[in-house]
A and B are shown apart, each in its own frame.
Chain A
Amino acid sequence: MTLQLLKDRGVPLDRQRFHWRELAPPPISKVDCDAWTRVRIILMNGLESEAVRFSHAAARLYGGLQPTLAVLRRIEQHQQTLVNWLLPADHTPLETTIGYEQVAIEVTAALALEEPDPYLAAMYRFGLLEDFDHLYRFAALMDRIDGKDANAILQGYTDILPGRPTSIEHRHPLDDLRRPYERHRAELLSKLHAMTLVAAEHQTHDFYMAIGPMFADPTARQLYAEIASIEEQHVTHYETLVDPSESILEKWLLHEACEAYNYWSCAEYETDMRIKAIWERMLDYELGHVQHVAALLENIERRDAGEVLDVALREPVSYEPHREFIREVLRREVHLGSAGPILVRRDQEPERTLQYRSIVNAKDQPSNIVAAGWSWRPGGELATPSSGNGRHHEPPGVRVRKASS
């Protein structure tokens, strides 16, 4: 079970074609699908959206690459469409939001566990606790506005608990800048992990910016504004972990490798055979992209692509619950803040961050308003039996372990 990025040649570019019916395939079922399938769809939409974003930025800076960027970018845009259109129309924007946060939590946890560089792993755990809190706030919003239980989307794989409170995640921009890995020293896996999280967080930011104004409730609108601001911080947090001295072609090659790595992981874990076939097809397309960009690197920069993609990938990203790992991180690291690239105790945060936080929190703290006194329980807080009824409404067979007081 390995992925040989340069040896597995994939599908050549001239055979990578789509028609409209393929690009709008039958969607998954919101309630019948396994939550991990939705997680993979959302993540891969993020990877493809990053591919298109990166390609446009590169085209604006490197005129000579514009023709070849345009050809690959068209394919990536169609790949993104095919993947994202797998989501069904009966997902409300808030239900999709819950899915996005499940992606942020579970994928970040999986990468933090596998990350060989201790500094990068610490940064992933830092971001993880913040997205973990976002899920809790959005779940409270869903219960209190729509009367819906977010666990219908999460399917019990991910806890709904407070993390590092969103209201204290707001930091001065300079305290979101991190120390990048060094391109000659970092392992390939570290580079792919960082790139994956940049993509996931960037699409989350863009999604919240698109749907936030669709809500009527004033606190919902503020909550999306607040959490979108944190997602912007997270894009900065993760993108500054990437070595900015990588050449444009090196970055491009890593982008294609990252997509291949993630499609491969999706295919390895997918239980829905129709969706698995899509992941396998997209993997073959991405391997074709890797070949194309590797040739550009060799022809233009006179560099061997094997020095960038220097090892075979042996383990896919795991799609399984990380409940215990996340709770342990929560217990140990929830008190952390940052001072520039260094993680510090919250009482050591720089004055600039404290000032910034006091400004944005001056009037309202929507993330605190929405979840005031709220704890998740099956079916939402209204499902609690009234006093004197005495009947438990946990489903048959569920045993709830009471926390010791």
Chain B
Amino acid sequence: MTVVGIGASAGGLKPLQDFFEALPDDTGLAFVVVTHLHPEHESHLPEILQGSTQMNVRQVNGEIHVEPNHVYVISPNRRIMMTDTTLDVDEFDEPRGARMPIDHFFRSVARAHRSMVGIILSGSGTDGSVGIKAIKEEGGLLMVQDPNEAEYDGMPRAAIATGIVDVVLSVRELAGKLVEYIRNPSTVPDDPDALSPQQTETLQRILAHVQTRIGHDFSQYKRATVLRRVQRRMQLTGHETLEAYLNYMRHTPTEANAMFSDILIGVTNFFRDPKAWEALAEKALSAIFENKREGETIRVWTIGCSTGEEAYTAGMLLLEQAARLEKKYELQVFASDLDDPSLVQAREGIYPAAIEADVSLQRLERFFTPYDNHYQVRRELRDIVLFTNHSVLRDPPFSKLDLISCRNLLIYLNRDLHENVMDVFHYALNPGGYLFLGGSESADTAKELFHVVDKGNRIYKAKPWIGEHPHVPALPLRALRSSFPAHSVPPRSFQRRFVAGMPPLEEQHLKALEAFGPPSIWVDEDYLVLNLSESAGRYLLQPGGPITTDLLRLVRPELQIELRSALFQAFEKGRTVVSQPVLVTFNGRPHRVLVSVRPDLYKAGNNKDHPRKALVTFLEDETESPPEERQNAEQNKQGAQDDETVQQLEQKVQDLRDRLQATIEEYNSSDEEMKAANEELQSINEEYRSTTEELETSKEELQSVNEELQTVNNELRNKVDEVSLAHSDLENLMDATKIATLFLDRDLKIQRYTPGMEDLFNIHPTDRGRHIADFTHKLGYHDLVEDSRLVLRKLQTLERESTSPNGGWVLIRLHPYRTLDDRIEGVVISFVDITDVKQAERIRQNYESFYTLFHSNPIPTLLTRLEDNLVMNANQALLDYLGLPREAVLDHTAQEFNLGLDLDSKQRISLTKKLLMDGNIRNFEERIELPNGEVKSVLTSLQYIHIEGRDALLSTFIDITERVFAERQIRRLSIAVTQAEQEERRRLSQVLHDDLQQRIFAVKMQLDNLQQAHTANDQKSIQINFVKLEEWLVEAINITRQLSKDLSPLNLQGEDMTEVILWLDSQMKEQYGLEVEFINEGIHFRFDDNLQIILFQAIRELLFNVVKHAGTLEAKVTIKLEQNGSIRIIVSDEGAGFDPALVLSEDNTAHGLVTIQHQLRLFGCSLALDSNPGNGTRAVIDCPAPASGAQP
């Protein structure tokens, strides 16, 4: 069952719905929808999708078995993964924002080796673009929504940019394509060996077609791999048979390219297989650097670099190594691949954010710069890597390399090709250079070229050159680069190393040497056979036992002694040794054989480490027979002396021959050197070509960059619009809040400020950029600069309060200015007017003081609401005064307490008016009735106040009942005094006028009479008139005497009160004829002078009343000493009597008694009257004990 993974994000809901609506319900596929969900919100995606399909839609919350025709949806804050046949969820490792659930899921499916289709729909970012590589590697199909249709094209474009996407269509077409893909199962078997001969041939024709089109020969690639790719292409293009596909390919020019890319998919990661890279750095790179001097070049070649990850990985390790050694080296990484789109990407060096998973943070920071959700390779790294289109099978290799990294390329190649490639590698590497292969590859087929450094991590080291001169190895596909039609060159077998590529002359020579030269054997200093010439076998005889290459054991026994001696001498002395002729019997016939051993002097001299080698040559006298030999020997003996000349000549010939041989070798050597130089030039030329290609690419890149810049420019213009909108929003916000705000940079220079600032600081728009300390301000705050620095240092917000210029208060808040990427760029200082807050606080404090005062005030005080007179509060003094508990007062209306009884409505209105005008009324007197019925006089003050948001009246009541009473008493007394005085005056005036004046008038008239009598000299009349005159004058004198006596103020100082009363009694009798009976029990006492006078007046007045009103001339005065020492004086009569209430009523002010009564009271005395009309009167005066005491 195939799993379809669908990745979608922003703008992905609609495409998902469309997709499922367009899809039949019985595809047999299992769908897994992976989206970016808000981690904290519940997702309704399953319900929404259920509306678009008949398939069962489920949210994955735990492990779940995958079934066909089901849709599985990711749940919020979880990532989803596939293991074998189940789906499971897991928590994210990454923080929000760095999560790549689509990549994660795709990779997990690829790991599970499931047949899979990956679909990327609308979404921003790059999620999915790494995961699809994993799918592709497993042979899965990749489909992407057309970016032009997608609402957000970030994810589709990122996926397409990988160059590995198979299908790009609109969502509905994708659904159709998917169905087509699934319903077209391949008729071609998976196993290449199961192909019918006809199918095999068709497959070869397909590859031949690709070769024709693209110029790349896949015939040597692994058949199974190639077949799988072809199958996929067939399914995609909807062809059931290889023939149909071939036909399609012939008519569709782009298909060959697609096939080419498909086969060459480069799936790679940074630090893929990190342990191997670690081992490489440790075992290979460090060694490479050690052998280099500072300034020398280190050259590395990564083959099959794809989109460049591996090349950059190698580059990073090199840079790190160089940095560690703190030396400068020329670093050069060649990176080659066949796939141009991949190379373009590699050159860009831009990778999705998902590489965070592969590259450590440290390296990301050092070697990459973040680039819009991506990472871009930094210049330092990019500069050392050179990308080029290059085929290791076709193009001359780079040379003098220190490391070749060729990972996961060999797996695609036939074993036949491996050896060629190894040769190429060996050629390209410096001796001792390293080879780094992929996990499932090895250099075991070329043991003689490489020895193992780290087998597990596939690190090998090149052995030194075998021959004296490096050879350019055969390039297997070299011919394809030629101008000949590709198919006209038959693929050749390249099994023979070092031979195939040789020029024909040399080949002929070698062949001739083989055919006609002496048989020879190439041995090392251990006498082990390294190589045999064709005909050398005749001197060898494999002995019994294990197979051996030991020449001494292999060689025919007859030759063993001579050979051992020759070999020993040759290696020992370093010169050619020729043995004595040895008789050896071949095919029953004896042959004379000479053995020549020639050590490899050239190498031995140059490289002491080099194992020395020698050429063993067998020279055979073929024609001579044993008798001839013998004869010859005899001849030699006989003509020994004659032969001396011949021998000398022969020796000369031999010398010449040797010299010739040396010359020939010299020539050969320089020829080889030239050849090598030529090859090197070719490589260099290749490099130049790469560079040229790159430059061309760069030019195109520049054009596209230009294009991009224009786009970016447009985007920036939009951004600017947005920013200006945001700015105006911000300004409006500032204006609306009326918060003066100042923006300072890190040096406390003014960046910006809001209009309100000008009221606080002497600042103008032109002052931007000036230091804040240069400005005066109107605040009572002088630590602005210090506080700003503090904020910058501690990154804390500070708050200060200060007075403001208008007398209010300002809250100054200093806050670090953080940019969106969390850098501190300065200080933001805002000035908030908190005058109202302060005022409110003061009001609250005022309220508190008010209430403290209110409650502690001893004057009864009441707070009522103005609108309805409801009591808001009352103090304890008021409650005590009213005698009511608090709850009986609060929330009742003031009227209930009868306050202000005696105000009539007119008074009320005028009071209200005054209250409204002045806000208060002071001390108006009114009467109130207490709840217990007592009526009190109070001084009321009303004060209008606004408290707790209400209009209210504060009323105070000062009790003045006693004062009023006292005042009234005083007023009454003063009236009485005035009246008594008037009365006294009237009495005096009457006495003067009615009596004395009349007598004086009479005297005057008498004088007139006397004068007349005198004139008339009437002596008798004179006599009479004189008598009369004298009589009247005496009477008048008496009257004046009495009057002056009456008028003289009483002086009773120190007088005994008993004596005073006695005197008064006599006066009453004398003046009015009143008989007073004085009853005194022998008591004598005296009071304070003033009281004595009042008592005197009181008794006189009481007696006078008897005279005036009682209608009797008899009265009684009694004095008693009481038990407690007080004195009681009783004045009584038996007269007519009267109603005392009438006499003592307060309104009867004319009556002197009232006055006296009050006066007595002031001295602590009392006067009580007991009288009834007709029953006489009894007045009782009680006096406190005299200070001096009373004496009986």
| A and B associate | no
